Amino acid sequence: MSTSEILRQFDDNVMNNLPGIIAFSVVDIKDGLSLISGTKNPKFDPEKAAMYNLEVVKAKFKAIAALGLKETISDIMITLDNQIHILTITDDNAYLIYVAVDSKATSLGMVRSLLKEYSAEAVKNM
């Protein structure tokens, strides 16, 4: 399966199976390029949101290094009044998977579980 097919499958899984999904983006951490994104709200720009949140991830990487921690980032969660933004880093630290969900229409545990499943499957095949 080609990378574009794997990303399209990931898009399909996220947009159709994550409860309360607003938007998502997959970003290459090294060069900052969005590989794929999707939104259910045309006023919500997932690529712009992912680029700003990539800066959060990079700052956290720097903080971990500055503190001399031997830790990796699993995910970062930002809760807003009506949304939850989840920043997931793939195990190889190559990709940021950014997801925004409606906090009133989802179960955080389900979103994290499905996101982990879909991202592991996609990375394994890329």
CATH code, domain carrying 72: 3.30.450.30
The number of distinct structural domains making up the chain is 1
**pLDDT level of residue 120 (50, 70, 90 thresholds):** confident
Nearest 5°: phi and psi at 66?
A: -65, -35
* pTM for this entry: 0.92
pLDDT in tens, 11-43: 999 999 999 999 999 999 999 999 999 999 999
Beta bridge partners of 87: 76, 98
Q: What is the mean pLDDT of the chain?
A: 94
User: CA 73, CA 125: separation in Å to the nearest integer?
Assistant: 22
pLDDT of residue 63 exceeding 80, the answer is: yes
pLDDT of residue 79 exceeding 80, the answer is: yes
19-51 burial: b if 16+ Cβ within 10 Å, else e = ebbbbbbbbebeeeebbbbbbeeeeeebeebbb
**pLDDT level of residue 101 (50, 70, 90 thresholds):** very high
Instruction: Give rounded-to-5 percent helix, strand, coil for the chain.
Output: 45, 25, 30
Q: What is the dihedral of CA 39, 45, 47, 53, to 10 degrees?
A: -110
Neighbouring CB atoms inside 10 A of 87's CB total 20
